[in-house]
Structure 1
């Protein structure tokens, strides 16, 4: 096996049968006998002299011959099987750990879309039947059918009359206040859904534990990786095999897993990731999976690094070479640099560090990730295809799509609202057809006058044109300001706050907008919608709520309104003056409510937690009140609960949702979390 070409084609004669039978000396050079041993070895770390006195393929064969001579013939077969499996590991790993899990969610989302499409077709067909029943034409004469009550004397005539409204959903109760009996499989599904929705309390270190669905995905990904790393090496167990060689294979296989994780890591980190749209994951779920893959990469790199040191102690130290002399070899030195760089930007990515020093996190994340990938490319030939693919994903996302289609210069006005909040108004951002955003979208804000390399994420408070309460249309092209509500912390936000004290105007660069369709598409299927916002979480909740009200406004204007819906907003703030953030919008909402049908119920509940009369709401009772229709219009159907705020608030809402689903209630819990 040539050092320059560590991946020769597998020989068809990979066994040792001829050489083992003719060789009586375990130290005989394997190249002297007549068999062909073109062994593929996954690592080139020790393929070059003088790391070992011979090539790894020859080293492995010599040990296999020694085992066979000693009466352990099964050992050499196990080593070859493990080597061959490592050669195909890329196929197995990508199918078992990446393509199959993603495929499940893609199929799930596709099935949901097909179901919605069929439901819409049935509704359109039903509406067409009703229109044809009410009025139809015969030649040039229009004939209308007048519905009459059925009596005993006119049963034949009334039987031909089709009612104006036909509800094809036979599962709905005949009486509005009655409760339909659930089938066992529906109850079982809702209980399973409740279990997957549940979020456990924080761990002993105070870290947030993701809800069960993402937690299970993380665990399956981790243990699948562990299984593939030991398969054919330690499982099935072969006690006749050479233990040091087993460890050599294990350490090297974890290095392969680390390299294969990088394209997935990059595509999950991309702002325009196709996985988000294919699977239907929310932004929160997408971010958690990205962190899980990054954590798995750190585990793999650590095992690989530590394992290679143990390999040095097993095989190389006895030759008299020092560890420093081995580290000075170019391929190993490049691997060490990649390992250190990867761990530096990993440690600076933890929640605590990112919250305190976002600028440092961003700088180290980009710079050290680049260093790690460059030296990973130089470290080993088998990693190069994954490094090239990772950089291609980054280039498409960052350079092609984001820099060309998602980056704009704009004028902004900064205004201080209170002791800890600043309002940034980006002027006339909706004036161009390209400059548009979706409800609950977010942008990355850069101030070139301070630092053009700092881009900070903020959620857009303003509903876009066509989705607000103003009544203007998307095609009107009306100029509209984009408003951001930013809490004062340290660094960039503190500088914005100081700028607002001076009534500052500044030039900004916008990267975005970005967003997720998960919450919007889920709420469309809900008859009742409960929006829960904690403080600045109103920036996520308010645009989505306005979109639902705006759709009813448009239907009412076309004479197609009147469908029973209920929308409730629960907004929890620390101080009363925080309510002024959207004071004008709430006043506009009161005006709109008077123009909508009575069947469309809108309720706003505000809670102030600090001050003389401060109190915290009972979220369990708030959610239960809407789900069970304890007040107002009583409606059947699904209840969507969207929550955005502190982790404790979202965990409490998830717990309530789990309990309601366990009882058989039709609830959809949606959580949107700040975090990039």
Structure 2
């Protein structure tokens, strides 16, 4: 690229060019590359951390051996051999369990704060450094103004990559695409500010008598306006930016965005056809793909439908559903968590062992049945609820699965916390873990499942899954299920289900005309290893209890309202779960948080 092509748009009519201007233009080309070197190095470090985490999990799995409760006593003496684990745990406490409250139930953890601050510092440091004109003239503005535009443009592929469902960054770092959504929004907003710096500096220099006679200026204006007001679709800013930068020979900053966008759309189309092929005229042995919708509890709709055997999903993953009979906008899709586990994902040998040990086959109701539980609110979900009240049938297209849920098979102790409909995330993880623990001695030894619900009727959201899973024989595994009913009347006693598999369920309440509440309570008592308690769970006490049982690593999983997540993070910052506890032989604790939505 020639110097003249760079000077033409910003120095039209200038009589002379300062001697250091050519150097500034060289920096305008090199500094955006250096920014990418910096960001690429950070992504590489995250990838290395992901690989180390995977290898550590495999190492824990190889060392895991089923042990009796005796001999598990923990030494209170400090052990420097556990210092690396203590440091990792201290980092988790600071980065992921300490949050900044932004109001209206939205907060960010300090890791997100650090990354936001670091990203802003990197972009503006490389934008403003070495921008002083040594010979003194108004051209020093053009130094940082032009560079701001270049650095902002080269960020567009990153912005697009962070917002993709089929996310390359998520794949290499192990951070699921929905959690990268925060970074997608943050980088886009930072780039928008940088573009305004570029525009403001250009206006300050002077645009000339006919500023928009040139096509690249028109394209730049379109890109700036589109980026600022987020008109309709995000492709318009990219198009305008492409034609604007093409004039300067810098279009290679932009075109990777189109490649990434096209890749994501192509994969989504392939998924759509592959998992919904009956609707596209391809023969299938499953018959219709239509879903049944029913009201499983007041305000909750359950969707159940079949999909081909080649569809697999990890427990805790989500999918985007398109329902033409419900939507008012064509191809409108909404994300929902898959509420059941794909037990066919168990290795064939594990499934055979399961059948041999229990005399049961993997329940057919799970197979390739997909189950979604949707909380009815307004708009789309309200219309879906009206269909469900009539026990209707509707056409559903599925795009997914998406997400990177935790792999819990390598932890000694696993604790689940769910609030209300948050059970749709924890239930498949719990069910999958119980089935694996029944055939795999390296799986979890202690499992605690805590579910806080407002009404007893909410037990119907996942009741059959819990009943089938808890009836299994789990030698050497301690399972404790606690259902906290926050609105339960005080005259209904706390109850506990049987400890063993059930042969003849017994109702805890005998009345001539049982109420719906009594029927639901009777269901709960049929659940083995389960107890019902009044009020909200004591999160800290449960965490301390679980930590005292753990002989190795411990995983805590939560999905629910912001208050529950905040209480859990606070509990994990306590001394009983902190780095000093790790040094004294306590478990190294990993926290996995699934949020209800995004701000």
TM-score range, shorter-chain basis?
A: 0.7 to 0.9
Superposed CA RMSD: 3.2
SS of residue matched to 2:241: helix
Deviations 1:488-510 (A, max 9, x none): 12221111111112221111111
Aligned residue-pair number:
519
343 and 255 in structure 1: CA distance in 2 versus 1, 3 angstrom threshold: same
> Aligned residue for 1:585?
465
Structure 2 residue aligned with 1:25: none
Q: Is the 8 A contact 2:195 2:224 kept in 1?
A: yes
* 1:190–1:664 CA contact under 8 A, matched in 2: no
1:101 correspondence with 2:34 = no
Deviation at 1:331, TM superposition (A): 2.1
1:206-249: CA deviation from partner (whole Å, max 9, x where unpaired): 46332222321222121111111112115xxx7x4435212222
Q: How does 1:391-540 map to 2 (within 5 A)?
A: 391-399=258-266, 401-407=267-273, 408-409=275-276, 410-426=289-305, 428-429=306-307, 432-449=308-325, 450=327, 451-466=329-344, 479-517=367-405, 519-520=406-407, 523-540=408-425
Asked if 1:91 corresponds to 2:33, the answer is: yes
Q: Aligned with 1:380: secondary structure? A: helix
Aligned to 1:194: 93
Q: Does the CA-based 8 Å contact 1:233-1:250 persist in structure 2?
A: yes
Q: Sort the Cα spacing of 1:662 and 1:284 in 2 relative to 1 into closer, same or farther, 3 A.
A: farther
CA distance in 2, matches of 1:455, 1:275: 23
CA distance in 1, matches of 2:442, 2:201: 68
1:283: how far off? 4.4
Evaluate the alpha carbon distance shift between residue 477 and residue 435 of structure 1 in structure 2; reply closer, same or farther with a 3 A threshold.
Answer: farther
Note if contact 2:486-2:535 (Cα within 8 Å) is conserved in structure 1.
yes
2:245 corresponding residue in structure 1: 380
Q: Is the Cα–Cα contact under 8 Å of residues 82 and 231 in structure 1 kept in the other structure?
A: no
Structure 2 residues without counterparts, runs of 5 or longer: 277-288, 491-533, 583-587
- Indicate how the Cα distance of structure 1 residues 216 and 290 shifts in structure 2: closer, same or farther if over 3 A, else same: same
In structure 2, the partner of 1:182 is: 79
C-alpha distance in 2, partners of 1:245/1:611?
A: 72
| 2:452 aligned with 1:572 | yes
Question: For residue 541 of structure 2, what is the aligned residue in structure 1?
Answer: 621
1:256 aligns with 2:150: yes
In 2, the alpha carbon distance for the partners of 1:463 and 1:282 equals 18
* Residue equivalent to 2:482: 605
CA offset at residue 462 of structure 1? 1.0
Change (3 A) 1:639 1:284: farther
Note the C-alpha offset of 1:93: 1.3
Of 128, 134, 139, the residue aligned with 1:245 is: 139
Instruction: Calculate the TM-score normalised by the size of structure 2.
Output: 0.79
Q: 1: CA distance between counterparts of 2:53 and 2:173? A: 11
The structure-2 alpha-carbon separation of the partners of 1:535 and 1:175, relative to structure 1 and needing over 3 Å to count, comes to: closer
Q: Indicate conservation of the 8 Å contact 1:45/1:331, yes or no.
A: no
CA contact (8 A) 2:411 2:443 kept: no
What is the SS of the residue equivalent to 1:461? coil
Asked if 2 retains the 8 angstrom alpha-carbon contact of 1:412 and 1:507, the reply is yes
Deviations 1:509-553 (A, max 9, x none): 111122215x11xx2332110011111111111111111111122
* Secondary structure, counterpart of 2:296 in structure 1: strand
Q: Deviations over 1:586-643 (max 9, x none)?
A: 2223312xx221x2011111112235456222222222221123xxxxx411211011
Deviation for aligned residue 1:94? 0.8
CA shift in 2, pair 1:647/1:394, >3 Å:
same
Range 85-94 or range 643-652, more displaced: 643-652
Q: Are the equivalent residues in 1 in contact too, given 2:555–2:589 (CA < 8 A)?
A: yes
2:580 pairs with one of 663, 667, 675: 663
* Alignment check: 8 A CA contact 1:620 1:653 kept: yes
**1:228–1:636 CA distance, 2 compared to 1 (3 A):** same
Shift of 1:265: 1.4
| Cross-structure match for 1:293 | 187
Relative distance call for 1:223 and 1:45 in structure 2 (3 A) is same
Query: Is 1:341 matched up with 2:261?
Result: no
Alpha-carbon distance, 1:668 to partner:
1.0
Change (3 A) 1:282 1:480: closer
After superposition, the Cα gap between the structure-2 partners of 1:675 and 1:386, relative to the gap in structure 1 and judged at 3 Å, is farther
CA contact (8 A) 1:284 1:672 kept: no
Tell me how far apart the structure 1 counterparts of residues 377 and 544 of structure 2 sit (CA, whole Å): 35
For the residue of structure 1 that corresponds to 2:46, the secondary structure is: helix
Cα distance, 1:417–1:473 mapped onto 2, change above 3 Å: closer
Q: Say which structure, 1 or 2, has more relative contact order (CA 8 Å, 6+ apart).
A: 2
Further displaced range: 86-95 or 181-190:
181-190
**1 CA distance for matches of 2:537 and 2:313?**
32
**CA 1:479–1:588: 2 relative to 1, 3 Å:** closer
Structure 1 unaligned regions, length at least 5: 1-6, 9-37, 65-75, 128-164, 168-172, 346-363, 556-560, 630-634
Query: Greater Rg, structure 1 or structure 2?
Result: 1
- The CA distance in 2 between the partners of 1:442 and 1:533, in whole Å, is 16
Conserved in 1, the CA contact under 8 Å of 2:431 and 2:465? no
- SS of structure 1 residue aligned to 2:394: strand
